[in-house]
């Protein structure tokens, strides 16, 4: 048995994507099977197997996934970002307000959304990298700022992006077009870009290295501050992108919310194998993690439970994944 | 002859792959200072670890005050009266002296801590030890020597009967050592049993009554200190007498150009008006006691810490080094004394560490790393430095200390550094690898690199340097050509500034 496991771990495919990711993919199928069996039992014969459910789960996976991709960079540097959820909502509120109240062109509003995220990321990154504030406290502070700014900008009103067939609703095609989950392909493409950035470029190399040993990298003549800041800029920018996909799926955003998504994005990230200690990160793991989080919430709702169960589960997942990471690190030393 | 207070008999201990203690006997009498000597890895620390409950023994007995005892933890040993004064001090810098001494057993006045009582008790302790320390002083403001005395006071306050000193003088100045010895003599008078672990032969002769020598996990023998010579002890320690050949004259031609000149460097308390020159092909040794400001000078020079004033010239040209980036651009590489913290990224591969200082030269387009070129140059460097690693994809944390050091050297060679600052290059490296590092340094200067070598090992300084700068308390106190340098001259310069 042990031998078979070792042989499986040594397969080329398994080595390439990592044993952890193989397990996670298996978990997706297990969860799907689990929900397929339990939903009819708990909900009087209603079925879980349904194309719309998959689309609905994917809607959730996109924005959680983008948030997760961004925060993966921050966690790779050994930091954390608790502002991403509220920043996403702030982006969606400001850009939506520009669209609906100022009648700005849609393409510009989408740009504004990403830009708002990038600004928040830059501010956070500046304080963490250049002013040496703990990322924990910086991002908590920015979380409040993001919530407040969103509310103030929209005068504490929710914003509903246009839906239906108006000219200003083509952004919804980014998520789904004629029943095709376009968003999935965009998500995978952007994830691939993130992977290239993290694993193949000097920027990514520096971010990962400084996550393991910042001082050694600095003493090698690298301006660590710049690269550490970049991680937060990525995180914020991705929150801006996530906002587009959030409104693309759900159209309505309310001020003062968003922090519940932090935990889900971070859960996606850490269960995928990105280490909270910094230095090692898996983009693929985050992608799969986001899908698991999304599938989980779809299943929980389908089985007739409230979303509160989702909060409990993602909280526990974070605890479990981080504990597992710490144990495996101890074993290595 | 005094009473025996502690007897360890037939102590045996194995770790996976190592027979750390091979049926070792050891005893301590009341009112004696018993030295425990041996090379690194001889088993001294393990023996003391077994005694104080850090390790469990595989076989053997410990008899303490006539009873066979077994301690499961250092705390139990401490309660019984066996205390170690560690080499690294375990003090909380922001607390006061008294708060440190009585941590975990504070006197209370109702629910509140009775600080006045603690200060009073600490004062009594210091009076007993004839030490002059204010119990209200913040611990971090004391010198290392004074902090150590607090540690001793703490041990005494635990009603210790046996006090183990683990290399207590490693970080002390001469004056502080003298004070420490006075305290130890006083403790001996008061019938404490004292175990004294040290490498410093002259101290052993000065302070101890008996010497037990260990080698490779075995006890070689116990001698009466006054009846043996240094050579006897050294002979027992190594089983052979070896002395490294010191260098007799500089290999650097008199007209070799100056590649680096530092003038009147100031950076905090530890770098006060330091000036020196480094010539092409030279190894410039920086000698001094620990905490003399050598590392601080190197870090200030390298831009790792801010510099207050002073000029630096590289190859005659004045340069403004304000960060490690600037230093690297000027062709300076710094190999830190603390490799794991400041030298390598342990969780990254040999290849990734090798190019860390020069990654921008291994870029294809759009910031994409040319991984083929990166591997190639790392492989070449592994070959050139004879780094023992299965491949350049190996994580650096899986390499030995000597090979990690080579990876760091390789990093600076790949970045084409001309000036290398080796800060304690052989610390934590075994004897064989040490030799290789020395050969490597000699080869580098032959190839035209210039080296600043900071070292606390006198042998290393005398063997490697062409010229020697000595520092003491942040100031440069002497500079010698290797031809005129002697241990005595260096040591006296290294302690010159210390006020009595």
Residue B94 pLDDT exceeds 60: yes
User: Which of A200, A208, A221 shows the shortest C-beta gap to B357?
Assistant: A221
Alpha carbon of B373: minimum distance to chain A alpha carbons (Å): 13
* B411 contact residues in A (CB cutoff 8 A): 220
- Average the pLDDT over each of A71-85, B165-179, B201-215, B319-333 and give the range with the smallest value: B165-179
Boundary of a domain, candidates B209, B238, B267 = B238
pLDDT tens digits, B364-380: 988 899 999 999 999 99
Shared-domain flag, residues B12 and B156: yes
Boundary of a domain, candidates B172, B206, B238 = B238
* A212 contact residues in B (CB cutoff 8 A): 345-348
With an 8 Å Cβ cutoff, are B347 and A279 in contact?
yes
* pLDDT-based confidence at residue B499 (cuts at 50, 70, 90): very low
The SS3 of residue B486 is coil
Asked if residue B499 belongs to a domain, the reply is: no
| Region A135-152 average pLDDT | 96
Alpha carbon of B119: minimum distance to chain A alpha carbons (Å): 36
Shared-domain flag, residues B368 and B264: yes
Asked if residue B500 belongs to a domain, the reply is: no
Shared-domain flag, residues B143 and B290: no
User: Which of A201, A209, A218 shows the shortest C-beta gap to B367?
Assistant: A201
Asked if residue B300 belongs to a domain, the reply is: yes
Please tell me which residue, A297 or B86, carries the higher pLDDT value: A297
Alpha carbon of B350: minimum distance to chain A alpha carbons (Å): 12
Shared-domain flag, residues B418 and B376: yes
The two three-digit tokens of residue B23, written as one number: 């049926």
* B324 contact residues in A (CB cutoff 8 A): 218-222
* pLDDT-based confidence at residue B454 (cuts at 50, 70, 90): very high
* pLDDT-based confidence at residue B89 (cuts at 50, 70, 90): low
Residue B446 pLDDT exceeds 50: yes
Asked if residue B250 belongs to a domain, the reply is: no
Q: Are B495 and B488 in contact (CB under 8 A)?
A: no
| Region B168-193 average pLDDT | 85
- Among all residues of chain B, which has the CA nearest to that of A223? B325
With an 8 Å Cβ cutoff, are B352 and A201 in contact?
no
Shared-domain flag, residues B163 and B101: yes
CB proximity B414 to A under 8 Å: no
CB proximity B334 to A under 8 Å: yes
User: Which of A216, A223, A279 shows the shortest C-beta gap to B342?
Assistant: A216
Where do we find the tokens 């009873």? B67
Looking at residue A276, its pLDDT comes to 92
Mean pLDDT, chain B, rounded, equals: 87
* B349 contact residues in A (CB cutoff 8 A): none
User: In chain B, pLDDT over 70 holds for what percent of residues?
Assistant: 93
The two three-digit tokens of residue B144, written as one number: 């290392």
The two three-digit tokens of residue B212, written as one number: 């037990």
Asked if residue B247 belongs to a domain, the reply is: no
Mean pLDDT, chain A, rounded, equals: 92
> What's the ipTM?
0.87
DSSP secondary structure letters along B435-463? HHHHHHHHHHHHTT-EEEEE-S-HHHHHH
User: In chain A, pLDDT over 90 holds for what percent of residues?
Assistant: 78
How many separate domains does chain B show? Answer: 2
Half-sphere exposure of B364 (CA within 13 A, CB side): 9
* A205 contact residues in B (CB cutoff 8 A): 352, 359, 369
Looking at residue B88, its pLDDT comes to 64
pLDDT tens digits, B108-142: 888 888 989 999 999 998 988 888 889 998 988 88
With an 8 Å Cβ cutoff, are A209 and B348 in contact?
yes
| Region B403-430 average pLDDT | 89
* A78 contact residues in B (CB cutoff 8 A): none
Residue B423 pLDDT exceeds 80: yes
- Among all residues of chain B, which has the CA nearest to that of A203? B367
Q: Are A236 and A124 in contact (CB under 8 A)?
A: yes
Boundary of a domain, candidates B176, B208, B238 = B238
Where residue B230 sits, what CATH number does that domain have? 3.40.50.300
Q: Are A55 and A248 in contact (CB under 8 A)?
A: no
User: Which of A196, A212, A220 shows the shortest C-beta gap to B411?
Assistant: A220
With an 8 Å Cβ cutoff, are B325 and A221 in contact?
yes
Helix axes A202-218, A224-250, angle to 10 degrees: 140
With an 8 Å Cβ cutoff, are A208 and B323 in contact?
no
Shared-domain flag, residues B176 and B272: no
Residue B241 pLDDT exceeds 60: no
Asked if residue B248 belongs to a domain, the reply is: no
Q: How many CB atoms lie within 10 A of CB A106?
A: 18
Shared-domain flag, residues B192 and B73: yes
Shared-domain flag, residues B309 and B455: yes
Shared-domain flag, residues B303 and B206: no
Q: Which of B278, B377, B256, B276 is nearest to B332 (CA)?
A: B278
Kindly state the DSSP code that residue A167 receives in the 8-state scheme. Answer: G
Looking at residue B243, its pLDDT comes to 47
User: Which of A196, A203, A213 shows the shortest C-beta gap to B345?
Assistant: A213
- In total, the C-beta contacts within 8 angstroms joining chain A to chain B are 76
Shared-domain flag, residues B15 and B131: yes
Shared-domain flag, residues B272 and B139: no
Residue A103 pLDDT exceeds 80: yes
Residue B431 pLDDT exceeds 70: no
Looking at residue B436, its pLDDT comes to 83
pLDDT tens digits, A171-216: 888 888 888 999 999 999 999 999 999 999 999 999 999 999 999 9
Q: Domains of chain A by range and CATH?
A: 50-322 (1.10.3470)
Alpha carbon of B369: minimum distance to chain A alpha carbons (Å): 5
- Among all residues of chain A, which has the CA nearest to that of B300? A219
Q: Which domain holds residue B32?
A: 4-238
- Average the pLDDT over each of A26-35, B167-176, B480-489 and give the range with the smallest value: B167-176
The two three-digit tokens of residue B35, written as one number: 């030295």
Where do we find the tokens 């989408």? A110
| Region A66-89 average pLDDT | 97
Close Cβ partners of A102 (under 8 Å, ≥ 6 residues apart): none
Shared-domain flag, residues B8 and B132: yes
Asked if residue B253 belongs to a domain, the reply is: no
**How many residues are there in chain B?**
500
Residue A2 pLDDT exceeds 60: yes
Among A151-155, B135-139, B142-146, top mean pLDDT goes to A151-155
């Amino acid at each position: 048995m042990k031998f078979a496991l070792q042989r499986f771990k040594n397969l080329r495919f398994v080595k390439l994507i990592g044993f952890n990711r193989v397990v996670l993919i298996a978990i997706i199928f297990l969860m799907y099977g689990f929900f397929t069996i339990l939903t009819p039992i708990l909900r009087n014969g209603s079925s879980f197997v349904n194309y719309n459910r998959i689309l609905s789960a994917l809607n959730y996976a996109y924005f959680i996934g983008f948030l997760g991709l961004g925060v993966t960079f921050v966690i790779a540097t050994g930091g954390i970002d608790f502002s991403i959820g509220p920043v996403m909502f702030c982006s969606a509120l400001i850009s939506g307000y520009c669209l609906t109240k100022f009648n700005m062109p849609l393409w510009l509003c989408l740009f504004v959304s990403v830009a708002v995220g990038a600004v928040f990321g830059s501010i956070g990154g500046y304080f963490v990298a250049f002013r040496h504030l703990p990322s924990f406290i910086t991002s908590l502070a920015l979380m409040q700022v993001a919530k407040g700014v969103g509310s103030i900008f929209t005068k504490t009103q929710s914003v509903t992006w246009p839906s239906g067939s108006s000219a200003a609703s083509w952004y919804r095609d980014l998520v789904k077009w004629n029943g095709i989950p376009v968003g999935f392909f965009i998500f995978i493409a952007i994830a691939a870009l993130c992977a290239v950035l993290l694993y193949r470029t000097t920027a990514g190399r520096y971010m990962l290295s400084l996550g393991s040993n910042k001082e050694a990298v600095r003493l090698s003549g690298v301006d660590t501050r710049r690269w550490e800041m970049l991680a937060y800029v990525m995180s914020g920018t991705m929150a801006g992108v996530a906002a587009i996909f959030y409104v693309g799926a759900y159209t309505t955003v309310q001020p003062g919310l968003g922090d519940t998504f932090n935990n889900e994005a971070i859960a996606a990230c850490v269960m995928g194998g990105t280490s909270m200690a910094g230095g090692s990160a898996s983009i693929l793991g985050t992608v799969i993690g986001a899908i698991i989080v999304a599938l989980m919430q779809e299943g929980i709702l389908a089985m007739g439970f409230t979303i509160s169960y989702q909060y409990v589960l993602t909280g526990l997942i974070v605890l479990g994944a981080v504990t597992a990471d710490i144990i495996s690190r101890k074993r290595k030393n | 002859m005094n009473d025996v207070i502690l007897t360890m008999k037939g102590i045996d201990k194995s770790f996976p792959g190592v027979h750390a203690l091979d049926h070792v006997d050891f005893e301590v009498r009341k009112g004696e200072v018993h030295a425990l000597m041996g090379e690194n890895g001889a088993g001294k620390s393990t023996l003391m670890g077994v005694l104080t409950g850090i390790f469990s023994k595989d076989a053997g007995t410990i008899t303490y005050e006539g009873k066979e005892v077994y301690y499961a933890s250092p705390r139990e040993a401490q309660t019984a009266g066996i205390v170690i004064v560690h080499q690294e001090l375990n003090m909380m810098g922001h607390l006061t002296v008294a708060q440190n001494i009585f941590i975990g057993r504070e006197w209370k006045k109702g629910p509140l801590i009775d600080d006045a009582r603690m200060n009073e008790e600490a004062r009594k302790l210091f009076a007993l030890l004839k030490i002059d320390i204010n119990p209200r002083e913040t611990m971090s403001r004391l010198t290392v020597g004074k902090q150590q005395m607090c540690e001793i006071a703490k041990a005494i306050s635990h009603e210790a009967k046996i006090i183990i000193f683990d290399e207590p003088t490693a970080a002390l100045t001469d004056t502080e050592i003298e004070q420490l010895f006075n305290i130890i003599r006083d403790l001996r008078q008061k019938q404490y049993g004292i175990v004294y672990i040290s490498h410093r032969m002259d101290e052993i002769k000065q302070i101890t009554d008996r010497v037990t020598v260990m080698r490779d996990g075995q006890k070689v023998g116990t001698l009466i200190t006054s009846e043996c010579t240094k050579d006897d002890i050294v002979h027992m320690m190594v089983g052979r007498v070896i002395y490294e050949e010191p260098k007799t004259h500089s290999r650097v031609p008199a007209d070799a150009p100056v590649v680096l000149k530092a003038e009147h460097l100031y950076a905090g308390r530890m770098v006060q008006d330091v000036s020196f020159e480094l010539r092409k092909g030279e190894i410039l040794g920086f000698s001094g006691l620990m905490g003399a400001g050598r590392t601080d000078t190197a870090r200030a020079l390298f831009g790792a810490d801010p510099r207050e004033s002073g000029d630096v010239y590289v190859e005659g040209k004045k340069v403004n080094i304000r960060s490690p980036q600037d230093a690297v651009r000027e062709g300076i590489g710094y190999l830190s004394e603390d490799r794991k913290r400041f030298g390598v990224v342990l969780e990254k591969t040999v290849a990734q560490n090798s190019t860390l200082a020069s990654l921008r030269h291994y870029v294809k387009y759009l910031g994409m790393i040319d991984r083929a070129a990166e591997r190639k140059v790392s492989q070449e460097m592994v070959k050139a430095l004879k780094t023992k690693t299965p491949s350049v994809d190996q994580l650096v944390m899986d390499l030995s200390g000597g090979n990690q050091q080579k990876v760091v050297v390789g990093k600076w060679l790949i970045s084409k550094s001309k000036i290398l600052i080796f800060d304690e290059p052989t610390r934590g490296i075994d004897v064989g690898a040490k030799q290789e590092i020395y050969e490597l340094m000699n080869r580098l200067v032959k190839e035209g690199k210039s080296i600043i070598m900071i070292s606390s090992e006198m042998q290393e300084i005398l063997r490697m340097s062409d010229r020697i700068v000595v520092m003491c308390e942040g100031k440069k106190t002497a500079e010698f050509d290797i031809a005129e340098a002697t241990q005595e001259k260096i040591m006296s310069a290294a302690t010159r500034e210390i006020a009595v």
